[in-house]
Each structure stands twice: as structure tokens, then as C-alpha cells.
Structure 1
Amino acid sequence: MQQPKLTVIMPVYNLAEYLPRALDALLKQEERNFKLLIVDDGSTDESNKILEQYRHSFKYFTLITTQNQGPSAARNTAIEQVDTPYFTFHDGDDFVEPGYTAFFLRAFKMHPEVDMVACGYYIDRPNKQPRAMGMPEGGLLTKGNTYLKMTNVFSSPVKGYSWNKGYKTEIVQKNNLRFDTDINLLEDQIFNVKYISVSDGFYYTQRPYYHYWQRSDSLVHKPSLKKASDNVVGNYRVWSQIVKSIMQEKELEKSQRKHRRHLLKTEGLSKESKNESYS
């Protein structure tokens, strides 16, 4: 068996109720040659015990236990341990289709020119049928269109989540990209726009491989002043990064056009000089 090319990062905090479903789904992957890297962020329930029970079910299984610092810090801890060319994220209360890991490896192989790939996803709620997000679509996107798909507040199959994206480890490490740990909202989207701003090429499909389990007791669905504040701060950081990136792209295009004009002018002068020498 070849060395794995993909790492699945799973941050966990008090998810004992959901972990067996998540881990059983990963055991049923069509492409099983991947690394599973779990960070138990100081769980106080049976999460760690359940995780240990699955240790020998996976060929490549790493469990890191830390003090509780939040999901962003847990993801950052995991990022520092990744040693495969690609990685993705998987929340411990969600679950995936059998083709999930195969999609990322296939997409990167079929599109070597891109630096990020994304799959579609279902929204799952208790006692309701899964709902696939977005219209049937997919393909390659420019940097500007990628930003639009990520920030679409309606039915985009891309959005700003980290769990339906595949990343190149080299880009993250080279640019020291990490999740912001001072907010608990939109941190995924901030990370993604930072990643896009320093990379080239994006491929996506609406075909859903990920099940996003929306539970009423999750932090995201609890109203609070901190959440309202984080929403303002998060949106500011997202759009500041996007505007900065777009301005840099325009400056680069301007510089390239200037360089091309200079080359054409130099070439024209050179030809003119040659003609004069023959006359």
C-alpha cells in the first residue's frame, strides 16, 4: 500500500453521542488509504474512551489530547502534525458518504493545476430527510468567483466551511496559515479566504459527499452577545482579506501589462535598429 496522500483532521469536544456514526462512516470509505488525525479538545464525556476503541480499526490513526481551547486551536494543533500532501477537515458530529476521501484524491489528480478542491454537502436535521445544497453545478473557478461562492449566504454548494474543502499542505505551511482563535464564528471562512489569496486554482462539484448535522445545542445556534460581536469581526476580516487580495491581483495584472508593453517596445526598437544597419 502506498503512503497516504490525504489526512482527515477531526477536532472533537464532548461528541460521544455522535462519534460512532462519524467513525463508522470513515471505516466504510471506498478509498481507505488515508490518515485520521483527531484532536480531543479536553472532552469531559466519553469521547476519548470511544476514540480509543476505534484506534486499531484504522491503519493510520493519531489521537492528540489537549486542554480545552476551542475548535480553531484544535485544528491548528492538527495542522502542525500533517505530513501528507493534502488534508481536509471533518467535524466529529457529522458523517460522510463512502466516496468522501476518494473525491479529494481524485479531484487533485484530475486537476493538478488547482490548489483547492471542494465537494457538495447535505444538511441533515433530526427526523428530516437530508437536503443537498445548491443546484447541480461544478468546474473550475477564477479567484474572484471562488470568493463569491464562499461568501454566498444562500444555497452555494461551496460556502466558507472547512469540512468540504481539500487543501495542499505545502501552501498552508509555507504561508503559516492558521485559524483565528479569538472568535467562534466565521473562522472557517477567514481561513479559506486567506488560503485562496495565496494560492491559484479552485475546482468544485455540487455532488454531496458530506453530511452537515445541524443540532440545536451546537454553539453556532445559540444566540449571544459574543456571537453577534464575532459575526461583525469575522465579516470584517473576511471582506478585508478579499478586498486586499483583489487589489493585489489588479496590481499584478497592471504590472504584467506594463512589462508586456515594455517588451514589445524593446522588440520594436531592436527591429528598427536592425533595419537601419542594413540600409
Structure 2
Amino acid sequence: MIQQPELTVIMPVYNLEKYLGRALDHLAKQDNANFKLLIVNDGSTDNTRKVAESYRDQFRYFKIINKTNGGLSDARNVGLAHVDTPYFTFHDGDDWVAPSYTDFFVRAFHEHPDAAMVSCGFWIDYENKEGSVQVGRKVACGMKRKASAYRLIVNFVGSLFNNRICPSPVKGYTWNKGYRLAIVQQNHLSFMKNLAFMEDQIFTVQYLAASSGFYCDNQPLYHYWQRKDSMVHNYSLKMIPDNFKTNYIVGKIILKDLWQERRKKKPISEQELAEVTERNQQ
């Protein structure tokens, strides 16, 4: 008897007919096929919807939501509203994953019940270059304290040098993270709209600030496809103010959360110190 799926993969898509088949081919070959695939078609004007529908029979749990175009954050929020499994992750329609991708998140949450968020490593693949480049393979994995988790997610130094200096296998992306639905619902979390980019980092930082327990593994299971016509690589003037706005929001959230964490740690009193010293001398 097949158990109810514990993981939902949310895939927002917009005009990706050229790449979507590759993404779905890899998802259809997962070692753990017991997951839900939720595709949010954000008003595509090409054959994206047709390509997606052609894969319906290759998944145990498959759903397409067709909506008018509202942008990536809106599509992600629509996907979040339809999740009914304990855990979820995101997947961009032009990327692809290793066979153990979905199993990693379920297994990681089971093996680390104190973790509110889990993260795997990733590869970077370039349109005009052969081979995959693993990011941050030397970074120690395991359970991380909040300050360390924030450094791996935000990684200000690495971001200035395109993740070539002090590379992090974590970053603020959502596609290499596993989240708990209960935390999102309890804290009414959603993706901020009207940003040119980095809305995923804001969501991830907000999520971590509202929870506790972060587990990361630098095993690369996700292939991040770098294509010239992607939104991230098409420079626009809106990116300049959005970059300052995003960094300000992220910095404010982190500072407030770390300050509150510090206030929770009460210093040991003189009486408690004397009791500990006395026990050690006995």
C-alpha cells in the first residue's frame, strides 16, 4: 500500500516550452516517486501548458494550475496555497534534478526532526559550457545555529563575486530547500511581489526567523541552468533599487532575529554559578 505523499514540488512556469521537458523527465525518474507535483502555469503564451499536460501520466500525483500572468512571486504564492503535504520545495522549470532529489527532503526531515528547514547542494550548468560546477563542496554540513545559517543563506561576500569567493551550497534559493507547511501557515508567510529578483531570499530569511533548526548537506542534487535569456541575466534599471531594498529588508530581519535570540539567553546568576562550582568540587 502506497503511503500518502509527504512532499510537494511546486514548479512555477512561464513560457518554458524549450526546457520544461528536461525538467519533467528528471522528476519522473525519482528514486522516491511518492511526491506531489504542482505546476503553476503563470499565463504562458507558448506551448508550455501543452508540454506539461503531456507528462500527466508519468506522475502518481500531478496537478496543473493555469492562471493569468502575475509574476514569479504570485505564482509561488498560488502554489503555496494548494500545498496539502507536511513538506514542500520549489523547482524552476528550466532546471533539472538528480534521482535522489525528492527523497533527500523527506529523509532529511525524518532524520533531523528538530530541523525546520533542510537544504541540499547544487550544481551550476552553463548554456555554452560543458560539464557541471559544484558549488561550495568544501563547506561543512550538518545542523547549523542561526547565525551560521544566515551566513550560508545570505553570503554577502560570495554574492559580490558571483559565488566564486566563499561559495555557499545553500544561498537564498528556494529550489534546494525543504520547508514545513505548518510553519508557513502559522506565520502567514508569502513571497513579496513587485521585486525584480531576490524575493526567494527574503522568503527564506523570513522563514528561518520564524522557526528554529536548520540542516544543510552539500551533496549537489539540483542543476541550476544559467541561460542568457533568463530574467536574472537580463539587466534592468529596476534591479538597482530592488537590490538595495532586498538587502535592507533581509538585514533588518536578521538583526532583529539575532537580537531576540541573544536576549533569550539569560546569563547565569551568582547563585547558579556557586551551585555548579560546589557540585564540581564534590
Question: TM over 0.5: same fold?
Answer: yes
Whether the aligned pair in 1 keeps the contact of 2:137 and 2:219 (CA below 8 Å) is: no
Q: In the TM superposition, what are the counterparts of 1:143-154 in structure 2 within 5 Å?
A: 143-152=146-155, 153=158, 154=163
Q: Among residues 264, 268, 275, which one is paired with 1:252 in the alignment?
A: 264
Aligned residues: 262
> C-alpha separation between the residues in 1 aligned to 2:117 and 2:215?
6
Q: Distance in 1 between matches of 2:141 and 2:264?
A: 28
2:188 corresponds to: 176
CA distance in 1: counterparts of 2:44 and 2:226, whole angstroms: 20
**Superposition map of 1:32-111 within 5 A:** 32-111=33-112
SS at match of 2:196: coil
In the other structure, the counterpart of 2:178 is 166
- For structure 2, the 5+ residue unaligned runs are 276-282
1:143 maps to a residue whose letter is: K
Kindly indicate whether residue 218 of structure 2 is the aligned counterpart of residue 206 of structure 1: yes
The residue identity in structure 2 corresponding to 1:9 is: I
Task: Map residues 110-259 of structure 1 onto 2, 5 A cutoff.
Answer: 110-126=111-127, 127-136=129-138, 137-152=140-155, 153=158, 154=163, 155-254=167-266, 257=267
Cα 1:165/1:263, change in 2 over 3 Å: farther
In the other structure, the counterpart of 2:279 is none
CA separation in 2, counterparts of 1:31 and 1:263? 54
Aligned-pair RMSD on alpha carbons? 1.6
Structure 1 letter corresponding to 2:234: K
Partner secondary structure for residue 225 of structure 1? coil
Alpha-carbon separation, structure 2, partners of 1:142 and 1:40:
37
| 1:32-67 deviation digits (Å, cap 9, x = unpaired) | 000001100000000001111111221101100111
AA aligned to 2:134 is: A
CA distance in structure 1 between the partners assigned to 2:226 and 2:152 by the alignment: 21
Report 1:258-273 matches (<5 A): 261=269
User: Does the 8 Å contact 2:77/2:191 carry over to 1?
Assistant: yes
Question: What runs of 5+ residues in structure 1 fail to find an aligned partner?
Answer: 268-279
1:228 CA drift (Å): 1.2
Q: Show the counterpart of 1:10.
A: 11
Residue 93 of structure 1 and its aligned partner are, at CA, apart by 0.4
Structure with max Cα Rg:
1
C-alpha distance in 1 between matches for 2:270 and 2:178: 40
Residue 128 of structure 1 and its aligned partner are, at CA, apart by 2.0
Shift of 1:263: 9.3
CA distance in 2, matches of 1:232, 1:192: 18
Q: Runs of 4 or more off by more than 3 Å in structure 1? A: 260-265
Q: Which amino acid aligns with 1:139?
A: G
Letter in 1 for 2:116: D
